[in-house]
Each structure stands twice: as C-alpha cells, then as structure tokens.
Amino acid sequence: MREALPDLHVHTRFSDGRATVDEAIKTGTRRGLSLLGICDHYDPLYMKSESELRHYIATLKAYEVARGVEISIGNELPISNGLLKELDYVIAGVHRLRGIAFWGDPTPIYDGYRFVAEMLDSIKEAVEHYPVDIIAHVTWLPESVRHETRRLITEEWIRELVLVAADRGVAIEVSGVWRVPDEEVVRECIHQGVLIATGSDAHQVSQVGELTYPRELIRRLSVNRQQIFIPRRFR
C-alpha cells in the first residue's frame, strides 16, 4: 500500500508544537497526506479549560483539517458533549505514571513488569470511562526501561491491550516519530479487527507527515484501506 496516508497526530503552538496551523497544513500538503489532523494537548499543562478548548476548535474550523485533541491518561480533563461533537476524534496517551515522565526523565524503575502492568491498567481505565478514539504510542516506555521494551511488553500484555481496544472500538496508533508499536502489536490488531491510526506525533514543522514507519508496517503486513482509521466526518 503506497497511497497517501492520514497524519492525525500533529501538534501546533496551541500546545507544545512549534508549527503554526498554516505551517502544518503547508507541510502536509507538500508531503501528499490524504488528511491532516491537528491534535493538540488538552491537559493541565496546556489547554486547561473548556473555554480554551472552545477557542482552539473555533480556530481549526477555519481550516480543512481534522479536529482532534490528545488527552493525558491519568490527567483527563472533562469535555462537554457539545464540544465533543465539534471534535473529530480524541487521542489518549500515557505521558506520566507514578510521577515519572515518559520523555526526558531518567528516574529508575526497579520493577518493570509491575510498571507496564500499571500502564496497561491506566489505558484500560481511560478507554472505559472517557470518549477515546485512538490510543497513542502504546508501547513507548520511560527512559530507564525503554531498552527492555521487548522483554517487558509480553504477548499476553499485547493481547490484553488489543482485546480492550476491540471491545471499545478504539484504534491503536502507529507513530511515525517514535516508531512504535512493534509489528507484533499491529499483527494482533489485524487479527482482532482493531483499526490502525497513522500519525507522526509531530512537534516540529519538519516532522509533519513523517509516516515512513507506519507505511513500512502497513506494506509489510498487507494492511488494507478499510483497516486504517479515518475520522467519521471524512469517511
């Protein structure tokens, strides 16, 4: 499958991205994306209130883009039904657990298996109680245990994650910038009928549309077009 893919995970200056919406759109167009999704953080560090979220949505309505937000699992902020209807999708990702950040934090984790079990429980809790459409960077781990990912993320862990996603109708993202998850997760998604979402997780202009890794996996595993997540408004 070589045709254009959607990039549904692009951050802008509305949160921790460096691109303006205009810059993201221009880069996405140049890279031949089938759809660009702006998906800034809606959490206590960035957009902290529904009034800020309302302004964000109103701004995006002026553009031909998919309107999304990314919530931080464990720090979910409420979204009213009215605003939820104006969003095209909600991405959820674990960014911090036990006070340990998943980026740039070398804090030691002495029981990796227990940590990833708690991580899975947090994901399950989020998709069961929050309007999540996509789970982001599902196997990205904190710095101190990242080199042990293949040992800690077991077949049983993967199966449980994907079954929860299947039960709730939630897609699992393949991240272009972070190059996760591994092939085993995508294979299990295909087996269980879970949709694959493609996103760069761009925080810089140069990263917008960086979908080399998702494209490689999709081609290698013969993922068909019907298995790719597309927001309802664009189907």
Query: What confidence tens digit (pLDDT) does each residue in 171-210 have?
Result: 999 999 999 999 999 999 999 999 999 999 999 999 999 9
Expressed as residue numbers, the domain containing 78 is: 6-93+131-137+171-234
| 3-state secondary structure string across the chain | CCCCCEEEEECCCCCCCCCCHHHHHHHHHHCCCCEEEEEEECCCCCCCCHHHHHHHHHHHCCCCCEEEEEEECCCCCCCCHHHHHHCCEEEEECCEECCEECCCCCCCCCCHHHHHHHHHHHHHHHHHHCCCCEECCCCCCCHHHHHHHHHHCCHHHHHHHHHHHHHHCCEEEEECCCCECCHHHHHHHHHHCCCEEEECCECCHHHCCCCHHHHHHHHHCCCCHHHECCCHHHC
Inside any domain, residue 105: no
pLDDT at position 1, please? Answer: 43
Please check whether residue 101 lies inside any domain of the structure.
Answer: no
User: Is residue 151 a part of any domain in this protein?
Assistant: no
- With 0.85 as the threshold, say if the pTM is over it: yes
Instruction: Tell me what pLDDT residue 3 has.
Output: 72
Is 154 inside any structural domain? no
Q: What is the CATH number of the domain that holds 230?
A: 3.20.20.140
Q: Region 52-71: what's the mean pLDDT? A: 97
Query: Is 149 inside a domain boundary?
Result: no
pLDDT in tens, 77-130: 999 999 999 999 999 999 999 999 999 999 999 999 999 999 999 999 999 999
Has residue 119 been placed in a domain?
A: no
pLDDT tens digits for range 47-61: 989 999 999 999 999
What total of structural domains would you count in the chain?
Answer: 1
Between the alpha carbon of residue 163 and those of residues 119, 133, 151, 159, 185, the distances in Å are: 16, 15, 20, 6, 11
Flag whether 102 is in a domain: no
Q: Is residue 87 part of a domain?
A: yes
